[in-house]
């Protein structure tokens, strides 16, 4: 049975588990949609037996710590707590562990468990568990990256979600510490994802697009009109999770074909 909202919980302090789930949602949806009428906010409210307004306020609290929002003069709510800051710092220090914890907590609340057994990572990881974690990490990364860029390709401005890819700057195969880190991501349409992965395109620390000489030497009209026209142009900046300069430097050093 789906949990019901509980108006009687108004004023009840948020605990760590609830805050982890709130931050997980904060990362997955655009800040502009952290409103009480968002179905995702309503679903979490139902799960936690809280009101949508209460969840929306908690999401706004996390916005107060977000430097990307501050850069564009958007302020979160001011009634933050020490726990809010601790959750923010913990996620940024270890995205992988906390994404998995949020997944297990959601199951715990959905099934009404009273103990914390289901939030402990199971021992003896199997191939099935590995694949499950991989799907969880992939889903979070895609939602966080696309949400940061408002589901718009940062090169072309294409806003067709079915054609967009949350591209890893440093691939999983190179360093799995960044597999769920949204600052290791770019929202790219499929063509530019392939170009980026192949090292035929990169992004400077100034967030300016650079194409490889292998592309720039192409003289056909299609290449010139659809690719080369973006050379030395800035990307469309995300509302949150600016690409890490360290990750971008890694790509230019290890993948970019000069």
| pLDDT digits 0-9 by tens, 26-71 | 999 988 899 999 999 999 999 999 999 999 999 988 888 887 777 7
pLDDT at 72: 73
Computed on alpha carbons and rounded to an integer, the radius of gyration of the chain in Å comes to 20
Cβ atoms 231, 210 nearer than 8 A: yes
Measured CA to CA, the distance from residue 198 to residue 233 in angstroms comes to 20
| Residue 241: exposure state from Cβ atoms within 10 A (0-12, 13-18, ≥19) | buried
In the predicted model, is pLDDT for residue 127 greater than 70?
no
| pLDDT digits 0-9 by tens, 130-148 | 767 888 999 999 999 999 9
pTM of the full structure: 0.83
């Amino acid at each position: 049975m789906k949990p019901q909202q509980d108006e009687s919980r108004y004023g009840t302090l948020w605990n760590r588990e609830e805050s982890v789930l709130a931050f997980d949602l904060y990362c997955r949806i655009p800040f502009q949609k952290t409103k009480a009428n968002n179905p995702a906010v309503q679903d979490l409210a139902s799960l936690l037996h809280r009101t949508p307004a209460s969840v929306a306020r908690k999401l706004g609290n996390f916005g107060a710590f977000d430097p990307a929002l501050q850069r564009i003069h958007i302020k979160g709510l001011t009634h933050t707590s020490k726990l809010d800051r601790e959750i923010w710092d913990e996620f940024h220090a270890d995205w992988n562990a906390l994404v998995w914890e949020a997944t297990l907590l959601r199951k715990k609340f959905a099934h009404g468990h009273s103990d914390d057994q289901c939030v402990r990572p199971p021992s003896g990881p199997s191939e099935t568990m590995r694949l499950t974690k991989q799907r969880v990490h992939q889903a979070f990364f895609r939602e966080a990256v696309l949400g940061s860029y408002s589901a718009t390709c940062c090169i072309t401005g294409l806003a067709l979600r079915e054609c967009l890819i949350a591209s890893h700057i440093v691939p999983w195969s190179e360093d799995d510490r960044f597999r769920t880190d949204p600052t290791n991501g770019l929202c790219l349409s499929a063509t530019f994802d392939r170009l980026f992965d192949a090292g035929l395109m990169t992004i400077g620390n100034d967030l300016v697009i650079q194409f490889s000489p292998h592309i720039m030497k192409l003289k056909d009209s299609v290449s010139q009109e659809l690719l080369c026209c973006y050379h030395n142009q800035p990307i469309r900046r995300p509302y949150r999770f600016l690409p890490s300069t360290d990750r971008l430097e890694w790509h230019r050093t290890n993948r970019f074909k000069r």
